[in-house]
Structure 1
Amino acid sequence: MSWLPLKDEGNSLFARGNYQAALEKYTEAINATTGNDEEDKVAVLYANRAACRLNLKRYHDAATDAKKATQLDPGYSKAWGRLATAMSALSSYSGSINAWEKAIETLKSKDEKSFSAPEAKQLQQYQEGLQAAKLAAGGASQPVRGINIPGRHGQLPWDRALSMRAELMAQGINGLPSSAWVILGAYDEFRSGVDIMKSGGRVQTPRGLMYQGHTKAIEGITNGIMRDERVFVIDDPSFPDKLRDQMIFECQATKAWETEGPEAIKEDALRRQRQNGWADVRPALAMTIRGWILRAFLESHAKHNHALAVEMTTNALEVLEWGRSTWRTVAKSDRGVIFSDTFTRCVRSHRLQYMMKECVDTASKRSPLQSAERLNEIKSEADAIIREIGDHPLDKSQEYDPGFVLSFVVYPRAAALAIKGYCHKELVKTKTLRGVEEIRDHFTNAGNCYLEAAVSYPEDDEQHIWFLHCAVDNYFQAGAPIKLTLPMLEGIRTASEKVKKIWEYSALAMQGRDQVVRDALGMEEEIKGLLRQGRYTLEDSVCPERS
């Protein structure tokens, strides 16, 4: 059998921890069996490739391979165990429970008295996995909380921005940039999606209980999140259940890929496009990508599972980049908006944020060198986004509303700059730098990045004053002169009232934004007092004590 030597090579590579190379060997072996009478005998190859993908944290592709292995050999307990592991990692706990039960059932099909020591240990692992999945499923059934739940009816940012709509329209597209444009555009999209979602529901029919509704809800909700994620609000206890039902309904209506990974989707999308045309594959791809975007957002913000959010957005980008290359000459009206520069950019921007959050959460588990490597990786991705925005400006022949420009050009660039600033600051903590000068350079670079991010945002956006504050902190650490930091403190003061006009009640306000403003006012007053007393000049550096 020509595939056996390839399988053995894969096993050897896997044993040495070279999972990517092992994956490629198993793929070669699978290709060697395709189309002949050996194809139904090689469940082990798919199960082994699933193990590689589990170790590479490519859980969707791992689930696809493990599922294929169980289809080829329904009695293969290891394949069921790997499918269960992948489904748990994807927070698909009902699927994980079912797979664990199958793993236990198939393993127990032989007499337990004749179990070898490894098989007995395997059974124990499967039973522990089943219990963990059941516990996780119980936790997942609780209402989603903590995502900008409103506390002041009529006073939230979009309410304030709505009251400014007439004023903004009167100023026109050439008026002063305002975050009201951003939140209005995001709110209009998000609310349209929510309204469509709420119009649907389960109804009793002669064929039983069925869901009746309309598509485009997930499109509106994800468009809102991509324009400005701060617009996401849960205003109804039934919202999570309705959102889940809507996701299932739209996946079925568009024939989207619900559990498959990028590799399987790319292969199947080509086949479906050739056989059935764009009317079949375009909505399926759009729903699959938007489903990943929405799930990544919820995993990160509601469950703090940032690693899974990174994987889902990475999956989305893999399919998007592949589609942009494969169908680069296909009209946008055929392949769909998801392959546009601005859409792909927003997915990259979201992934960058999840990468940073995952880095923060796992910092204590890394060595200083590992932390430095991860921070530099994130910083490189931020640089790539900034370059991409510069290399792909908006089409000058088209007219865009200010909210679109801010959401899809200005804000992604500003967010990338802020994350670069964070990476420079955190690199100092890794203690991998050489000497005082290098430390000072990183604080200075952090200050520069935060300052550029701050001034990119409109003055009435809360992120403007937040990142001015971050810039001041890092410039102080770098020993910057007062003449550089004092104008920033003054800027926080002058912008704070503009910010409150829209963002008085926001998630960031609840996280201490207003204390930052009070700190800045205190610093400004203290520094000016020291200057009046002649104790310092504008050329001096000073870090006043905080109250």
Structure 2
Amino acid sequence: MSASEDSLQLKAEGNALFLEKKYVEASEKYTSAIELDGENAILWANRAAYLDACHDAKTATTIDPTYAKAWGRLASSFQEVGLWEAAVDAWKRALSALPMEDRTPSDDKQKEQYSSGLAKAENFVRENFGRVADTYNIDDAFGAGRNKLPWVRAENMLSQLREKGPQGLDSCAWVIAPAAKELEDGMKIIRDLKTVETPGGIEMMIARPGALQALTNSIVRDQRVFHMESKDIDNYTKQTRFEAQKLNAWVTAGPEHILVDAEVLLKTRGWDYVRPAISTTVRGWMMKAFISLGLEHAPGPAVQFYQSVVELLERGRQIWHNVPAADRGAVFTDAFVRGVKRLLLDGYMQAYGSNPGKNSAYPLQRLYEMADEIIKDVDNNLPMKSDGNPEWDVQPGDTEAYYMYTKGEALAVKGLYHMQFVKHEVDMEGADNIVMHLIKASSLYQQAADMFPMDEEKHCWYLYSSLCALWRAKAPLKVTLPLIAKTREVIPQMRSIWEHSVLQVKTGNMMLQLTLDFEDEVRKGLNEGLYTEDDSASPGWASDPKA
């Protein structure tokens, strides 16, 4: 067969795999077809349905500007990466590329799809540009004064903790206070940005880079500190555009194309050019992912962005494994990549939570595997104190932030896996199987709690989560009461910092108080002879194994 015939055969095989939802395999077929017939716009548009979407769809529109499907794919791709204004333009181009007369039923279907996409994009631009979600404005959302914010309380504790010497290091304050400082540094750069109009009427930005680095360092350390006032969102948008242009970031390409481009650029421009370009690209993706979760409540795009970051960094580390760390840059370090995986795990968990159950687009088993991979990574790479180890804890809280917290959250996700497995996967007739999963969940939550300092809200919350699993397993009071006592003991320490956090305000304070009230009731019953410690007792909200 000729190259063209081979290309058509590969395209047909790709289409069949795509219909079977085997997207990775389909993408590989389209890629092979493109290698044989790179001037075929349809092939580029088809592959854009999965891999390097913006780049491929844009290539398709360049090859054939009248191909409506390519413009439609480009518009969808722009929306996926949060480029809503560009999506509006692409949807309009898609509609204009359709026949004006003698349209087929397929053309009418495309017109309906593109019109709907255009309306959605225009509505998003109209409603969201220039504002920020309430979840990012802690003061407005919960009425907490500045001195009630967890990171402010943590900062105020540091001098006292220093006076305690080594004993004072066991506090979450060392994690969240530096994270808040990084955020503050990034926001200062954003607020310093100015726009001026030239005599020719052109708007020019006066700015300096560094905001994306500070913001992403902050959320890698502890994403809970992130908050942004609505007045800053316009400057944030301008700052990200400025840094992308200034530092030559890839705006529409995906990992595959970036790695190819980077190899070429390294030969002509070197690491001084490529290092900031890659760093800015991945940090921009991270912020788009983070904002997709917080502003748009869209975990799907967030997962895609984080996965792209991990793919680019891990493949880059393989390709450039002999390159000195200082040349490659901080984004390729173990700690940073692990931090991105932690954010990906959180995004994937939220994506599963938006569509749980056996038929979830984000399988529960994959969530478990991701958590297990992180735990093994931490266990195999714990830093050893040595003069030549750049991963060693150089500041208080670094080991906690980049190792212990990451492992703790992964252990908690494995606990969640067993709880969800009981809820969606296990038949109620398999009572022994249910209890087994609940006991495993409880053990994992307790292990997770142990990864955090006792004044960290996650330490307290995971103890409570462990307790809930035991209650659902009908564990006896001699098992549950000591765990309640352990939870009661750490609550005052936790509240000294986290009393007004999002978790505590929304759920934690109430559920912990109900738990303590239940303990008082049970101990009273024990004193009165109503129970023995071999009896099982649980509050009503935690008695159903599959709740």
Q: TM-score scaled to structure 2, two decimals?
A: 0.92
Of residues 502-511 and 398-407 in structure 1, the stretch that sits farther from structure 2 once superposed is: 398-407
2:538 is aligned, of 528, 540, 543, to: 543
Alignment pair present for 1:165 and 2:158: yes
Alpha-carbon deviation of 1:227? 0.8
1:267 partnered with 2:243: no
**Partner letter of residue 26 of structure 2?**
A
Q: CA deviation at 1:466?
A: 1.3
- Equivalent residues of 2:130, 2:230 under 8 A apart: no
- AA matched with 1:515: M
1:407 equivalent in structure 2: 401
Decide whether the 8 Å contact of 1:11 with 1:22 is kept in 2: no
| 1:191 equivalenced with 2:184 (yes/no) | yes
CA contact (8 A) 1:10 1:21 kept: no
Q: In the aligned structure 2, how far is the partner of 1:161 from the partner of 1:369?
A: 41
1:527-542 correspondence runs (5 A): 527-542=522-537
Contact 1:523 1:546 in 2 (8 A): no
Map of 1:422-441 to 2, 5 A cutoff? 422-433=416-427, 435-441=430-436
1:214 to 204, 208, 211: 208
Q: 2:481 aligns with which of 458, 473, 486?
A: 486
The equivalent residue for 2:74 is 83
Range with bigger deviation, 249-258 or 41-50: 41-50
Equivalent in the alignment of 1:26: 30
> Using a 3 Å threshold, how does the CA distance of structure 1 residues 148 and 476 change in structure 2: closer, same or farther?
farther
Deviation digits for residues 153-177 of structure 1 (CA, Å, limit 9, x no counterpart): 2321122112112112223455341
SS of 2:132's equivalent in the other structure is coil
Match of 2:501 in 1: 506
User: Which sections of structure 1, spanning at least 5 residues, go unmatched?
Assistant: 34-38
Contact 2:72–2:114, Cα closer than 8 Å, also in 1: yes
Q: Taking structure 1 as reference, are residues 144 and 44 closer, same or farther at Cα in structure 2, changes over 3 Å only?
A: same
Look up the match of 1:278: 271
1:73 pairs, out of 44, 47, 64, with 64
| Separation in 1, partners of 2:204, 2:214 | 23
**Matches of 1:396 and 1:190, distance apart in 2:** 29
Sort the Cα spacing of 1:458 and 1:374 in 2 relative to 1 into closer, same or farther, 3 A. same
Hey, what does 2:111 align to over in structure 1? 123
Q: Measure how far apart 1:445 and its partner are.
A: 0.9
8 Å contact kept, 1:7–1:25:
no
1:343 partnered with 2:336 = yes
The Cα of 1:23 is off from its aligned counterpart by 2.2
Q: Is 2:451 the counterpart of 1:456?
A: yes
Greater CA drift, 515-524 or 392-401: 392-401
- Partner Cα distance (2:431, 2:245) in 1: 59
Residue equivalent to 1:243: 236
Q: In the TM superposition, what is the alpha-carbon distance from 1:344 to its structure 2 partner?
A: 0.5
CA contact (8 A) 2:195 2:203 kept: yes
Deviation at 1:228, TM superposition (A): 0.8
Distance 2:137 2:415 in 1: 26
Q: Does structure 2 retain, via aligned residues, the 8 Å contact 1:7–1:26?
A: no
- In the TM superposition, what whole-angstrom CA distance separates every residue of 1:205-238 from its partner, at most 9, and x where no partner exists? 346221111111111111111111111122x321
- Whichever residue aligns with residue 141 of structure 1, its letter is F
Structure 1 residue 486: Cα displacement? 1.3
Q: Aligned partner of 1:378: which letter?
A: L
Matches of 2:221 and 2:536, distance apart in 1 = 39
Q: CA RMSD in A?
A: 2.0
Deviations 1:234-276 (A, max 9, x none): 2x32121111111111111110011211111111111111211
Contact 1:489 1:523 in 2 (8 A): no
SS at the partner of 2:385?
coil
* Letter in structure 1 aligned against 2:34: I
1:512–1:26 distance in 2 versus 1, CA, 3 Å: closer
Cα drift, residue 142 of structure 1: 5.4
Identity, % of aligned pairs? 35
CA distance in 1, matches of 2:455, 2:513: 17
- Using the TM superposition, give the Cα deviation of residue 125 of structure 1 relative to its aligned residue in structure 2, in angstroms: 2.5
Counterpart of 2:54?
A: 63
| 1: CA distance, partners of 2:123 / 2:468 | 43
Deviation string, structure 1 residues 25-76 (Cα, Å, up to 9, x no partner): 221222124xxxxx4x32222112123x1xxxx5xx1121110011111222
Partner of 2:373: 384
1:36 is aligned to none
Equivalent residue number for residue 127 of structure 2:
139
Secondary structure of the 1:4 match is helix
Aligned residues between the structures: 526
Shift of 1:116: 2.6
For 2:520, the equivalent position in structure 1 comes to 525
- The 1:519/1:253 distance shift into structure 2, 3 A limit, reads same
CA distance in 2, matches of 1:430, 1:68: 43
Out of 414, 420, 443, the position equivalent to 1:420 is 414
Within a 5 Å distance, the mapping from 1:252-331 to structure 2 comes to: 252-331=245-324
Rounded Cα–Cα distance in structure 2 between residues aligned with 1:122 and 1:480: 58
Q: Which amino acid aligns with 2:254?
A: G
Write the distance in 2 (CA, Å) between the matches of 1:340 and 1:201: 33
2:165 maps to 1:177? no
Residues in 2 aligned to 1:177 and 1:502: alpha-carbon distance in whole angstroms: 14
Relative distance call for 1:512 and 1:120 in structure 2 (3 A) is: closer
TM-score (norm 1): 0.92
Residue number in structure 2 paired with 1:226: 220
Corresponding residue number in structure 1 for 2:16? 15
The residue type equivalent to 1:225 in the other structure is I
Looking at structure 2, the residues matched to 385 and 19 of structure 1 have their Cα atoms a distance apart, in angstroms, of 25
Q: Distance in 2 between matches of 1:231 and 1:348?
A: 18
Question: How big is the shift at 1:340?
Answer: 0.8
Contact 1:313 1:351 in 2 (8 A): yes
Change (3 A) 1:122 1:534: same
1:63 aligned partner, one-letter code:
C
User: Which deviations, in whole Å up to 9, do the C-alpha atoms of 1:170-198 show, x marking residues without a partner?
Assistant: 23455341011111111111111111221
Matches within 5 A, 1:25-64: 25-33=29-37, 39=38, 41-51=39-49, 53=50, 58=51, 61-64=52-55
In structure 2, what residue type is equivalent to 1:25? K
SS at match of 1:513: helix
Note the C-alpha offset of 1:483. Answer: 2.4
Look up the equivalent residue of 1:71 and give its one-letter code: T
State which of 82, 104, 110 in structure 1 corresponds to 2:95.
Answer: 104
The whole-number CA distance in structure 2 between the counterparts of 1:44 and 1:514 is 56
In structure 2, relative to structure 1, the CA distance for the partners of 1:372 and 1:117 (3 Å cut) is closer
Distance 1:43 1:195, change over 3 A: same
The structural deviation recorded for 1:339 is 0.7
- In structure 1, how many angstroms separate the alpha carbons of the residues matched to 2:326 and 2:169? 33
Q: Secondary structure of the residue that 2:148 maps to in structure 1? A: coil
